[in-house]
Amino acid sequence: MSFDSLPLQLTELPGAVPAWRADTTAQELPNLCHALKDLGGRLAALWGTDEHDRGAGCALHLALANPEGMLWLRCALPAGELQYPDLSPIFYPAQRMQRAARDLLGIDAEAADRRPWLRHAAWQEGDFPLRRDVSAATVFAQGGPEYAFVSVAGDGVHEIPVGPVHAGTIEPGHFRFSIVGEKVLRLEEHLGYTHKGVDKRFQGMALSEGARLAGRISGDSSVAYAWAYCMAAESIAGIAPPERALMLRALMLERERIANHLGDLGYLGNDGGLAFGLAQFMRLKEDVLRANQRLFGHRYLMDCIVPGGVASDPGRAALDAIGAECDQLEREVRLLKDIYDDHPGLQDRFLTCGRLTPNTANKLGVIGLAGRASDQAWDVRVQAGHAPYDTLDVRMKTHKNGDVAARAILRFEEIFESLRLMRAMIKRIAPGAIALPLPQAAAGRTGLGWVEGWRGESVIALEAGADGGIRSCHAHDPSWQNWPALAFAVYNNIVPDFPLINKSFNLSYSGCDL
């Protein structure tokens, strides 16, 4: 499908990924969304901005993706008319994004779910923290109504509340189970307990400094977010990083992918009753993190990607050492895969557990690793093909079963593919500059960043303000699309399997709580 077939005046955005901008009206939004979906498109992100400083009201923004690229739609909402049609019947993931936009900005999807998503009595009634006239230090409200969970009634039906504070050192989130015996009839999630004001904090920052904040949105995806931010900033500034810098960025991104997959495979083994797996995979993950510190200066690679390039440059000897590390890591992971595959107790827990069918995954708009495990063939490294991945022949893996086993197998396969890609990069990294200065950008220029992190795609929509600052920046985590899928995956499973199913998705609480 071509975006040119839509009744829009398109403006192409320069940069590493194919992207366009267009303006539309609230009345035309449903027709445009239907037309895009009918031709294979999907919702990548939805958010709002305050436009009162421009003499207007607010604006609704949508990022819509298809194999051609990304379309950034802007819909002006005049002051006093801050409503737009509910888009969740077209794109299921829009539900919670719309609720978040309402909490933060006061724009309202007509006839949609109006339960608060982020307003845990955090702001005074009528205060919307993303409005430009509201201080980031707004006094918190005291108390507030109880959240209106959906109740399930019937003989033998019970409710189990879990969280928001958990026994382990994980981020907070509330899960409300409706059960009969041990079987789950319904799971309702209530998140938003980690809100930290990131979108507000971006406002007024220097364009050159935003990558540091982006890299801390979700600590396990520092590389993905920092690269997406830099991609957007470089688009605005009209520069392309040196080839060596792009190769080093990709090397870091694959290391981040490997480290997270190793950790998840260990936790999955532990939740399935094989503590040996946790010990071995966490040992391997620690080796990767320590190597990151030696090679780039940070275990989680924070502040290693900067606008214009990268901040550190491992020499030839260090790159050769990465190649040796890849060989050793692959041998050990293949041995552990054989153990996982041949362990009857583990496979009994994994197979058919937490199944998300391809049809359901498609309807829910599931993306990233969880989507590929349910036969959703989407990977930004393949479809968007930004440098250097456009020359690396990324081999995307998918599975049809959509269960815990499929999500575990896919992690193994993606580790092996990342190791293959890293070896290819090491051979091709040529001497050269690692960064260019970031010129000051004209106010009003916009840029998009779009990077396939280990969990799925990270999206950054950035607009330059006056004096080289940021007017607005919105970051989007793939967990927005995938959290609702967890509720479908756990249906008809038993309560004790929830930790295993939850870990097989391993979604971010803070990444979608900005």
- When pLDDT is cut at 50, 70 and 90, the band that residue 231 belongs to is very high
- Look at the chain and count its residues: 514
Q: Is position 341 within any domain?
A: yes
Residue 138 has what pLDDT?
A: 64
Assess whether 104 and 206 both reside in one domain. no
Which DSSP symbol is given to 440? P
Q: What is the CATH number of the domain that holds 418?
A: 1.10.645.10
Q: Is position 49 within any domain?
A: yes
Nearest to 388 by CA among 254, 296, 295: 254
Assess whether 365 and 229 both reside in one domain. yes
Assess whether 373 and 499 both reside in one domain. yes
Residue 143 has what pLDDT?
A: 62
Q: Is position 184 within any domain?
A: no
pLDDT in tens, 118-131: 888 778 888 899 99
Which of 110, 141, 165 terminates a domain? The answer is 110
Calpha distance 222→476 (Å, rounded): 13
Q: Is position 381 within any domain?
A: yes
Residue 137 has what pLDDT?
A: 66
- Provide the percentage of residues in the chain whose pLDDT is more than 70: 98
Which of 110, 131, 155 terminates a domain? The answer is 110
Range of the domain at 435: 198-505
Assess whether 460 and 344 both reside in one domain. yes
pLDDT in tens, 23-35: 999 999 999 999 9
Residue 166 has what pLDDT?
A: 84
Assess whether 253 and 376 both reside in one domain. yes
Number of structural domains, the chain? 2
Which of 110, 133, 152 terminates a domain? The answer is 110
Q: Is position 333 within any domain?
A: yes
pLDDT in tens, 236-286: 999 999 999 999 999 999 999 999 999 999 999 999 999 999 999 999 999
Calpha distance 334→412 (Å, rounded): 8
Q: What is the CATH number of the domain that holds 31?
A: 3.30.460.80
Residue 420 has what pLDDT?
A: 98
Higher pLDDT, 140 or 135: 135
Q: Is position 177 within any domain?
A: no
Residue 1 has what pLDDT?
A: 52
pLDDT in tens, 333-378: 999 999 999 999 999 999 999 999 999 999 999 999 999 999 999 9
Of the ranges 189-203, 246-260, 451-465, which one carries the lowest mean pLDDT score?
189-203
pLDDT in tens, 303-343: 999 999 999 999 999 999 999 999 999 999 999 999 999 99
Residue 196 has what pLDDT?
A: 87
Q: Are 409 and 447 in contact (CB under 8 A)?
A: no
Assess whether 219 and 75 both reside in one domain. no
Q: Is position 115 within any domain?
A: no
Q: Is position 248 within any domain?
A: yes
H helices of 306-403, in order, are: 316-342, 344-350, 358-364, 368-372, 380-383
Residue 120 has what pLDDT?
A: 82
